[in-house]
Amino acid sequence: MKIIVAGGDGFCGWPTALYLSKQGFDVAIIDNLVRREYDVEMDSNSLTPIAPLEERVAKWKEVSGKNIDLYIGDLNDYDFLSQVFEAFKPEAFVHYAEQRSAPYSMIDREHAIYTQSNNVLGTLNVLYAMKAFAPDCHLIKLGTMGEYGTPNIDIEEGWIDIEHKGRKDRMLYPKKPGSFYHLTKVHDSHNIEFACRSWGIRATDLNQGVVYGINIDENDQDPILYNRFDYDGIFGTVLNRFIVQAAKGLPLSVYGKGGQTRGFINIEDTVRCIEIAALNPAERGEFRVFNQMTQYFSVQDLAEKVKKVAEEEGLEVTISHVENPRVEQEEHYFHAVSTRLEDLGLKPHQLTDDVIRRVLKLAMDNIDRLKEDKVMNSPSWK
Ligand code: NAD
Ligand code: USQ
């Protein structure tokens, strides 16, 4: 299958490209490398050194014998995108290529506007390119569990059957996201559903939880293939951040009460979910939603898990409850249905002590690269 991984230089996209290539997919990457520019803008970095994309792809060819095509450009450049569709003729399009940090989107007006236009308009371009050049292509779009927010009822997989004043309908599940970034995913979902309904596009919206872990086996073969490891207060996600804080002897920064509960997924399952979606495409005109998470934890639970493993490794760890820069519920109900990917064959990796230990070792090996003043640099939501 010919498959494009848009955002293939990023944290989820790079391992996905390697994994799909290893499985025998014919892979092309689209990326405008803007994620590397955010690091420069924020004076931040990946804890692991990351090689330039061309070097990564050349190394992959050397170790695997497999070619990955590269298209460096922006989804918001419609001429570029059209040319890629015409040249590569994808059968599936994995869309990771968005600005994905909630804190980045909340820095100020400019960052909110950039995030919304980059993400929402980029996705609209992809939909138009599919309609024009590849109407049978399957869009595999990364959404987020954060689209739903934390409602006081069970979260369904994208759609909900509603009975209202004696009448029934099947509607998109109501959304209440927690940042201008998360809102872009809601806007995307609506645009994609409309394109499926109107043009017969086939789409799978993967509402992914917070991803943890760094390297999958394909990345581990050579340091040139290593994945990026975000730890700063803007792009670092909570579990990976706690592990880096433990490795450096910094307090684990639970925001507020720590009862915030989220869906989580191991990066090894992220790549497998993409493969499962690609091998089981949505029907023409179908807008299909899977909740791509395997377990849920409160941030307090995660801090305690990291503390335990780090102490077993001889590190001294404290957990601190810092003022929450975000506006979010710190104690709430959370129960999300997430059975559809498992029905199609996903065998979830659980968050074990060994998984935490593997990331902790990688953090300790690279701890001299940490920029300590970037660990607590989240902007305030207010
Ligand atoms: P990332 O920032 O590491 O990677 C995104 C990549 O897309 C980057 O390489 C960036 O250069 C590229 N990109 C951004 N805008 C682009 C554009 N307009 N044109 C071309 N390329 C562009 O992010 P990630 O962590 O790999 O996340 C990938 C996707 O998965 C995102 O859509 C994100 O919202 C979603 N997601 C991520 C997580 C997580 O925990 N990391 C969880 C749920 C969902
Ligand atoms: N948190 C802390 N301490 C920290 C960092 C975060 O307590 O040091 C808390 C946050 O307040 C939040 C939770 O941990 O309640 C998750 O925060 P996060 O930064 O790990 O994740 P989030 O901002 O939600 O975003 C990440 C990805 C995003 C993806 C989302 C999936 O950056 O791309 O969409 O996870 S989800 O959370 O399911 O929406």
Percent of the chain at pLDDT exceeding 90: 100
- Dist. CA 354–CA 251, nearest whole Å: 21
Question: At residue 279, what are phi and psi to the nearest 5 degrees?
Answer: -80, -15
pLDDT at 74: 99
Contacts with 109 (C-beta within 8 Å, 6 or more apart), sequence order: none
Going from the Cα of 259 to the center of ligand 1, the distance in angstroms, rounded, reads 27
DSSP 306-356: HHHHHHHTT----EEEEPPSS---SS----B---HHHHTT--PPP--HHHH
Between CA 216 and CA 3 the distance in angstroms is 20
pLDDT, one tens digit per residue, over 29-72 is 999 999 999 999 999 999 999 999 999 999 999 999 999 999 99
pLDDT tens across 194-241, in order?
999 999 999 999 999 999 999 999 999 999 999 999 999 999 999 999
Whose alpha carbon is nearest atom 15 of ligand 1? Answer: 98
d(CA 312, ligand 1 centre) in Å:
34
Side-chain half-sphere of 102: how many Cα atoms within 13 Å? 21
Residue (of 90, 82, 124, 98) closest to 31 by Cα position: 98
Distance from the alpha carbon of residue 61 to the mean position of ligand 2, in angstroms? 34
Which residue bears the tokens 């209202």? 164
Q: Indicate the top mutation candidate among 35, 121, 240 to test ligand 1's pocket, ranked by most ligand atoms within 8 A of CB.
A: 35
pLDDT tens digits, 110-136: 999 999 999 999 999 999 999 999 999
Residue whose CA lies nearest to ligand 2 atom number 8: 253
Residue 11 in contact with ligand 1 by CB distance below 6 A = yes
- 87: confidence class by pLDDT, cuts 50, 70, 90: very high
The pLDDT value given to residue 79: 98
pLDDT, residue 107, reads 98
Q: What positions carry a catalytic annotation?
A: 144, 181, 185
Q: Which residues contact 253 (CB under 8 A, 6 or more apart)?
A: 241, 242, 245, 320, 322, 375, 376
Dihedral sign computed on CA atoms, order 103, 220, 9, 25: negative
Query: Where residue 158 falls among pLDDT bands split at 50, 70, 90?
Result: very high
**Residue of 127, 128, 147 lying closest to 139 (CA atoms):** 127
190 with 245: CB under 8 angstroms?
no
Q: What is the mean pLDDT of the chain?
A: 98
